[in-house]
Amino acid sequence: MREGGRIVSVAAIIAVAVDTDGKREIVGLHIGPSEAEPFWTSFLRDLVRRGLTGVKLVISDAHEGLKAAITRVLGATWQRCRVHAMRNALAYVPKGQHTMVAAAIRQAFIQPDHDNAVQTWRHVADQLRARWPKLGTFMDDAEADVLAYMAFPSQHRTKLHSTNPLERMNKEVKRRADVVGIFPNEDSIVRLIGAMLLEANDEWQLQHRYMQIEGMAELNPQAIEEEKPLQITPKAA
At 215-230, the pLDDT tens digits run 777 776 554 344 444 4
Whether domain 2-81+163-236 has CATH 3.30.420: the reply is: yes
d(CA 135, CA 15): 32
Nearest-10 Cα torsion for 4, 6, 8, 14: 50
pLDDT value at residue 221: 53
d(CA 47, CA 70): 12
8 A C-beta contact, residue 129 and residue 118? no
* Beta bridge partners of residue 78, listed in sequence order: 58
Nearest-10 Cα torsion for 193, 24, 65, 113: -150
Domain ranges of the chain: 2-81+163-236, 83-151
- What type of residue sits at position 20? T
8 A C-beta contact, residue 193 and residue 173? yes
Q: Which of the residues in the chain have pLDDT under 50? A: 223-237
pLDDT value at residue 20: 86
Nearest-10 Cα torsion for 194, 197, 203, 205: -90
8 A C-beta contact, residue 37 and residue 64? yes
pLDDT value at residue 95: 96
Tens digits of per-residue pLDDT, 81-125? Answer: 999 999 999 999 999 999 999 999 999 999 999 999 999 999 999
8 A C-beta contact, residue 224 and residue 217? yes
* Beta bridge partners of residue 16, listed in sequence order: 26, 233
Give the predicted TM-score (pTM) of the model. 0.82
> Cβ of 14: how many Cβ atoms within 10 Å?
22
- What type of residue sits at position 205? Q
